[in-house]
A and B are shown apart, each in its own frame.
Chain A
Amino acid sequence: MTDELTRENQRLARRVARLEMSLTQVEQIRDGNAQLLNRLMDDLDVERQRSRDLLLNVLPARIVARLDEGETNIADRHDFVAVVMTDLVGFTPSAAQLTAADLVAELNDLFTRFDAACARRGVEKIKTIGDAYMAVAGLDRDDSTASRASVTSAASLALDMFEALVTSGARWQMRIGIHAGPVVAGVIGTRKFAYDVWGDTVNVASRLESTSQPGRIQVSKVVADALESDFLLEPRGKVDLKGKGQTATWFLVGHR
């Protein structure tokens, strides 16, 4: 009986020693996993912010906020916004003369300056297509009293863009067209998001750009009316706009 108790005591003592060793190992492993988890959570936060910054490069912040809240079909009607369309004159011939790297670097430099001007003027950059740049003022305003401010912002942006073209030393000239009116704005795509605007206002702005002249900003009557008190305008007369016929237009010359 005594022998049996002695053996059982030995067995238990061995078991306790083993458990203590196991506990030490498990604590070490637990601490290691806790440290790893904390660091990975920090990494996750950094990545999340990086993803958000990337998304904010593509979509307006207010749209990102709506996507965050689970909204899926975003399409808004805006009664009055000002659309700015630009195009570089002579870009296609120069593309054949420059290396791809030089071409992209020069274009990137110019458009980066345009981006900065958009941010300064509170105008939304919508997209670039090749050497064309499109921006819209007023998408973040939904009260009709802000309509004149939108047009003013668009006009100031256009003037800034010409200044940027000069200071960048770019080899190209530029045409700009501005029109104002209603548009529909929304998000398309589920994997590659794109925020875009659609409507006749966009089409007219595009036609004003294409019928403008190198180094000049051609605007419609509604834009000219809104700018008249603060900007210098030069009547151009009637221009044949595709789909609109003979239409009176003005050149925006500068601030008064």
Chain B
Amino acid sequence: MHEDEGRRVLTMAVGQSDDVDPRIAVAQAIEQCREQMGDRSPNAGILFCAVDSFQPVLVSRVRDAFPGINLIGATSAAEVSSTAGYLEDSVALALFATDNIAVGVGLATGLDREISANTRAALDEALGGITTPVRLCIVLADPNVAQLVAETLNSMLPGALVVGGGAGRNELGASGAPTYQFCNERIETYSAAILVLAGDLAVSTAVGTGWTVLGPSGVVTRSAFGVIERIDDRPAAEFLRGYIDVSSGSAPGNPLALRDPGSDDWYLRVVLRSDSEGRLFIPGGVSVGATVQLTTTNPQQMLAATADAVDRARAAFPADAVPAAALIFSCAVRKYLLGTRSGHEVAAARAGLPAALPIAGMYCMGEIAPTGTAANSHFLNETFVTLLMGT
């Protein structure tokens, strides 16, 4: 373990509570973090808050408890931590105390109008005063814009790992319900909260899915962002006809598996709905020429993929460093599919990681992480993402 005058270079404390009063819940989470922090002062934090429990005052309470902290956060579909495991309607707080690791936060707003420029501005805000290379960028974004935010961050942070998720809400599919992202005292919708860590930080990540590709195969022949228009030169909905019905809503249990031309990596896209022209609406974009197939899964496969992702993240962690924290970004659909076993994902993480390693995370509407051998991160659906951080 790397020590600096007896102190760890990176420490993460986690607190979590599902008290029916969100103000009491956040107070309990803060108190749990304080106990773990001891005499260290956190300089950064992430607040994951169930959308039904979210109140602006929760953000203020954390900021008041730790003046000057760089805080980001988002609403979530469920929350996890090594303190309380898997909870719904809870508040989970992860606080970081770092030495020799610079941190910065920014909030990209107005993303329903302009994504690239506003994301760049938020990153500039986060990077203000940071002179060392960014190793990690954690982003919590509105799910509708998460892919383009991730692509912008990829382009601006070559060599950095971009990981995060789409802010959560209760409803799956093409819901009009808002999600919230926050950065310090600012709370917004259609925004992206960014936390960057720069300096001597070791990181690794891995993605697990657990879906099985099946049924007929097609090729996307026309698409635009957020919509697959044609598959095999026919209206895209015809490809699904008889297999899954998306005319009246989403099919979260059977996402499309897609593989871009020249790539060996599959990724998933939930079909949110179709329209009378046979177009399929999806979160994020799909390349023309991508191979498309249907999928299915079951809890055993999903949990095996979760455990495998944890193992791969641990194996990929630099051998000369020690993990100090783990963050989890899992898909809201997974918790529904896992049902009473939804807590098994964080349990699998705890089983596969060092016993004392603090863990925090959220169930999101889309995840952001690199897959396979790709250097850049992608916007993913229905996956489990593990992020290990250490020095």
Contacts and interface: CB of A to CB of B under 8 A. Distances in A.
Interface of A: 7, 10-11, 14, 18, 21-22, 25-26, 28-30, 32-33, 35-37, 39-40, 42-43
B254 A33 contact: yes
10 contacts: A11-B18, A25-B252, A29-B253, A29-B336, A29-B337, A32-B254, A33-B296, A35-B245, A36-B294, A40-B214
Contacts of B294: 36
B249 A28 contact: yes
B170 interface: yes
Contacts of B348: none
A32 B245 contact: yes
B20 A29 contact: no
Contacts of B242: 39, 42
A10 B20 contact: yes
Contacts of B296: 33, 36-37
Given A10-B20, A35-B243, A35-B244, A28 B89 contact: no
B288 interface: no
A36 B294 CA distance: 9
A14 B52 CA distance: 10
Contacts of B253: 28-30, 32-33
Main secondary structure of the interface of B (DSSP, over half): loop
Contacts of A26: 336-337, 339
Interface string B327-346: 00000000011010000000
A47 to B, nearest CB: 11
Nearest to A22: B336
Interface string B274-309: 000000000000000000001010000000000000
B311 interface: no
Contacts of B88: 18
B6 interface: no
A29 B244 contact: no
A5 to B, nearest CB: 12
Determine the main DSSP class of A at the interface with B. Answer: helix
A242 to B, nearest CB: 54
B172 interface: yes
B336 A25 contact: yes
A43 B89 contact: no
A32 B20 contact: no
A42 B243 CA distance: 10
A14 B89 contact: yes
B114 to A, nearest CB: 34
A22 B20 contact: no
A87 B156 CA distance: 73
A11 B252 contact: no
B251 interface: yes
Contact of A18 (B19, B21, B89): B89
Nearest to B340: A22
Nearest to B251: A32
A11 B20 contact: yes
B129 interface: no
**Candidate in B215, B216, B253, B339 with the most chain A CB atoms within 10 angstroms:** B253
A39 B243 contact: yes
Contacts of B18: 11
Of listed A18, A32, A35, residue having the most chain B CB within 10 A:
A32
Given A10-B20, A22-B336, A26-B339, 4 more contacts: A7-B20, A33-B296, A35-B245, A36-B244
A40 B170 contact: no
Interface string B58-100: 0000000000000000000000000000001100000000000
A18 to B, nearest CB: 6
Nearest to B336: A25
A39 B21 CA distance: 47
A20 to B, nearest CB: 11
Given A7-B20, A11-B20, A40 B215 contact: yes
Contacts of A22: 336, 339
A71 B242 CA distance: 38
Nearest to A8: B20
B20 A14 contact: yes
Interface string B233-263: 0000000001111000101111000000000
Nearest to A12: B20
Nearest to B88: A18
B140 to A, nearest CB: 22
Interface string B147-186: 0000000000000000000000010100000000000000
B252 A29 contact: yes
Contacts of B337: 26, 29
B3 to A, nearest CB: 42
A21 B170 contact: yes
B382 to A, nearest CB: 11
Given A11-B20, A40-B214, A43-B215, A32 B244 contact: yes
